[in-house]
Chains A and B, each alone.
Chain A
Amino acid sequence: MQNSMATQEVAHETSKSNVLLTELVIVILFFALTAATVMQIFVGAHQKSQLNARITEASIIAQDTAELLAQETNPEQVLLENGYTKSAENEYTYKTGENRAVVRISSETKAGGNLIFSTITLYNDAADRAKLALMQSKGIKEAQKPTEGLVSITAATYVPDLTLGNAPSTELEQVQAEEAPVEEAQEGVSE
């Protein structure tokens, strides 16, 4: 009789321990799920802040290049003088750290002159790698190196063709053009 009561008590205690252990395992399971979600969010936030920093740096480099090319009639020479190398026909590349600036030059002939377009595109190797890894992790089978840059701006310069007898482009030339016929008339009178 006493043995059976002792056996029943041990069984009851074991049952309580089992319930407790099961509850703890379930708690730890939920904790693990929550931790996995939170870790994903932390990593995403960190990557976004790094991407913002890279975009800021890229936009400063793009602005810098655009300012160097502004009002320049020979952009190729300016680029070569500022560390760019010719990578293809009408394409110049500059690499600094993980940033790569690519300038593509094109021109359009207009009635009064030429319009020179310089398209400045900034690529960042670290951002490209991160994007590629993200695409691969999502199982995108056609994942390849991203071709769009972080930042892209276009600088345009108008080069008037003065041989066509167009209107002068600066105020000084306009004043000189107006004074020229007066001087010729005065020379005619004196003769």
Chain B
Amino acid sequence: MSSMFVFLLIGAYAVFSLLLVLIGVQAYKSVVDTTDLNSQVRTSIAYVANKVRAADGMVAFRQEDGYQVLNLRQGLSSEEDEESYETRIYFMKDPETEKGGLYEQIAMSTDPFDPELGELITNVHAFTMAQKGLLLELKLTEANGHENWLHLRFRTERPLFADVY
């Protein structure tokens, strides 16, 4: 009888240990997932916002081959045939993994747009951009459908970049 009680006690100890480990795993997983999602949202929006603010007056928003592309021209030339570098930021889904990401590409302004040549900034579920007059609207959609919006106002009233607004 007492040995049965001892076995029960040891068994209870083992069960509670297992429960504690499982709860710890769930808590850690939830913390890591929340942190990961938080950094995705913060990084992507902050990165695009800072790039646009730094290139104010040299920003163009275009639709190219079904992609929404934000062109940030470097240099003073606003002529189409003048060679200057530009940074192209766009959202693309990897056809192999079906994972979406924000990509960046630095190319000559005369080079055609090729989405495959970009470098991944961060993984995001969905990222859209729209221009409304002097406001650039960024919308980040998380995997659970929650949307984060950010409007950016262009400070330069007379842009150097001809085809902006």
A residues engaging B (CB < 8 A)? Answer: 14, 17, 20-21, 24-25, 27-28, 31, 35, 38-39, 42-43, 45-46, 49-50, 52-53, 56-57, 60, 63-64, 67-68, 70-71, 170
Residue numbers in A under 8 Å from B9 (CB-CB) = 21, 24-25, 28
Asked if A53 meets B45 with Cβ closer than 8 Å, knowing A21-B9, A28-B9, A39-B23, the reply is no
Q: Choose one: A21, A31, A50, A170; the contact of B34 (CB below 8 Å).
A: A50
Residue numbers in A under 8 Å from B150 (CB-CB) = 60, 63-64, 67
Nearest Cβ on chain B to A67's Cβ, whole angstroms: 5
Residue numbers in B under 8 Å from A20 (CB-CB) = 6
Q: Choose one: A25, A53, A60; the contact of B37 (CB below 8 Å).
A: A53
> Are B2 and A21 within 8 A (Cβ)?
yes
Is chain B's interface secondary structure helix, strand, loop, or mixed overall?
Answer: helix
> Are A60 and B41 within 8 A (Cβ)?
yes
Residue of B nearest to A70 (CB): B153
A/B interface sample: 13 pairs, CB < 8 A: A17-B6, A20-B6, A21-B9, A24-B6, A24-B13, A25-B9, A27-B13, A42-B23, A52-B35, A67-B135, A67-B150, A68-B151, A71-B153
Q: Choose one: A14, A24, A67, A170; the contact of B151 (CB below 8 Å).
A: A67
> Are A53 and B5 within 8 A (Cβ)?
no
Nearest Cβ on chain B to A172's Cβ, whole angstroms: 8
> Are B16 and A35 within 8 A (Cβ)?
yes
Is chain A's interface secondary structure helix, strand, loop, or mixed overall?
Answer: helix
How far is B23's CA from A111's CA once the two chains are assembled, in angstroms? 64
Residue numbers in A under 8 Å from B2 (CB-CB) = 14, 17, 21
Residue of A nearest to B134 (CB): A71
Asked if A46 meets B37 with Cβ closer than 8 Å, knowing A17-B6, A20-B6, A56-B42, the reply is no
How far is B17's CA from A42's CA once the two chains are assembled, in angstroms? 15
